[in-house]
Amino acid sequence: MDNRIPASSMPTLRQLQFLTALRAQGSFVAAADAVGVTQPTLSAGIKELEITLGTVLVERGRTGAVLTPAGEEVAEGAARALGEVEELVRAVRTGAAPFSGQFRLGAIPTIAPYVLPALLRRLKQDYPSLRLLMREDLTMRLVEALRTRNLDAAIIALPYAAPGIAFESIAEDEFFLVCPEGHVLAARNDLAPEHLKGEDVLLLEDGHCLREHALSLCQLSPGRRNSDVGATSLQTLVHMVEGGMGVTLLPKLAADAGAAAGARVALRPFARPAIGRSIGVAWREGSPREGEARLLAEMLRKLLVA
Per-residue pLDDT tens digits for 155-167: 999 888 888 899 9
State residue 56's pLDDT score: 93
Model confidence, pTM: 0.70
Percent of the chain with pLDDT over 70: 87
Q: What is the pLDDT of residue 11?
A: 87
What value does the mean pLDDT take over residues 238-263? Answer: 90
Residue-level pLDDT at 207:
58
pLDDT of residue 2: 47
pLDDT at 82 > cutoff 90: no
| 3 against 77, higher pLDDT | 77
Q: How far apart are CA 276 and CA 106, in angstroms?
A: 21
Q: Mean pLDDT over all residues of the chain? A: 85
Give the domains, in start order, of the chain with CATH numbers. Answer: 7-81 (1.10.10.10), 97-306 (3.40.190.290)
- How many Cβ atoms from other residues are within 10 Å of residue 210's Cβ? 25
